[in-house]
Amino acid sequence: MVEHTVFLGLGSNIGDRAGNLKKAVKAIKEHGLKVERVSSVYESKPVDYLDQPDFYNAVMEIKTSMGPHDLLEIIQTIELDMGRKRPLLKGPRIIDIDILMFDDLTVNEGDLTIPHPYMKDRMFVMLPIVEIRKNARFPDGESIRRVLSRLKFETDNVRKIKDLDLR
């Protein structure tokens, strides 16, 4: 049985944001996914649709023997079980769980794109990945640290929440 290394992005901006992230981590474990590392929590301003509350974000590194589509199905089930609704594209949400990277796999299908298509532009994704895996690389070999160094760091847009442990 092959074990895959996967990075998942978590986000919440409705209700108890920290509690929602903790529930998602717990649910991921309960679905038999092996949690290797969980980043700190970062608060960020919304992007794309701006008229909504700030997000709490984190990244987890997991191990799984399932394929990307089966993993996506589990993630979507967790989101639905937690009350996720999608009335507005990129709008407020109780929980958002994204597959950021799956081994060195590249997928570009209707319901799934890996690596996540916007992650290179998202400080709130790149910072936590580097925090938990300093030498992480994209499937094409590009260093995540290098991409992060090119992003404009704005402390008013992304800030680390101290003393908040999701494990």
Question: Which residues participate in catalysis according to the annotation?
Answer: 84, 93, 96, 98
Lookup: tokens for 8: 């998942």
Q: Could you tell me how many residues make up the chain?
A: 167
Specify the 3-state DSSP secondary structure of 45: coil
Q: Encoding tokens for residue 121?
A: 């532009």
| Strand spans (E) along 1-89 | 4-12, 34-38, 41-44, 55-64
For CA atoms 155, 161, 166, 167, the dihedral sign is: positive
List the one residue out of 128, 164, 135, 131 whose CA is nearest residue 8. Answer: 128
| Residue matched to tokens 């997000």 | 55
Residue type for position 110: G
**Peptide linkage before 53 cis (omega within 30 of 0):** no
